[in-house]
Chain A
Amino acid sequence: MTSPIVHHTFVIEKTYPHAVTKVYAAFADPTTKARWFAPGHPQPGATFESDFRVGGQERLTSIMGDNTPFPGAVLSSQALYLDIVADRRIVMGSNMMMNGTPFSGSLVSFEFEAAGDGTRLTCTHQGAFFENADGPQMREDGWRHLLDRLGETI
């Protein structure tokens, strides 16, 4: 049974004390992007590749760990670079899949602008969440696992 799509938009603004070219490069260079976007990589079964050009694809695969609600599940995303203007903006369309089944589709825009000596990054995420998306149940499960782990460490 399918349920209606849930749409949700959010905006995150961050200011980094680094030049626009450096912040932009952390998106454009696949090796650097993997360091913050796919921090578990490299690990068994995890892959990250980015063909950074309009029409190019970014693919991310990871295996959910033992401390997650779905240990061993394959979480993956496929993204398409829709627009790239160097040091100005990057727009991507992507989906997220669990074990090959999509659970969300997103339009993500990154806008870069100088703010003093730093960079203001505006990330606008417009998402469509399908059934089985990261809803309250999954969050609750995630939290329960986190608490269990906390309990083990204290």
Chain B
Amino acid sequence: MTEPTAARVFQALADSTRRDMVERLTDHALSVSALAAPYEMSLTAVGQHLAILEAAGLVVTQKSGRVRTCALTRTGFDILEGWLKARRSPWEKHLDRLGDVLDDDHTI
């Protein structure tokens, strides 16, 4: 399987249907058919969207009996978070660390 990358994560989230799927999966897992219900598209099309979300490391699907379940997974979100953190300027990073040092140190 291909590795999730920032490009895949951004590409996956660039589509409003896929963002909606991610938002609807935030609180709990859903079966593929429950996930697909609100959309006017075939199950095949929903499956294609899910494949893109899976390749981006945002969603995992798991088959249990006759039901395939979709849930969010961390990998893609960690990539996003890493990307955002890397965009902080060196001084923002320094001053965040200053906060940590101040919190840790009771002698100064």
Contact = CB atoms under 8 A, between A and B. Distances in A.
Interface of A: 10, 12, 14, 16-18, 22-23, 25-26, 29, 32, 35-37, 39, 108, 121, 123, 125, 142-143, 146-147, 150-151, 154
Interface of B: 3-6, 57, 75, 78-79, 82-83, 86, 89, 91-92, 94-95, 97-103, 105, 108
A32 B6 CA distance: 36
Contacts of B108: 22, 25-26, 29, 32
Q: Is the interface of B mostly helix, strand, loop or mixed?
A: helix
Contacts of A108: 91
Contacts of A22: 102, 108
26 contacts: A10-B91, A12-B92, A12-B95, A14-B98, A16-B102, A18-B102, A23-B98, A26-B102, A26-B108, A32-B101, A35-B97, A35-B101, A35-B105, A36-B100, A37-B97, A37-B98, A39-B97, A108-B91, A121-B95, A125-B91, A147-B5, A147-B6, A150-B79, A150-B82, A151-B5, A154-B75
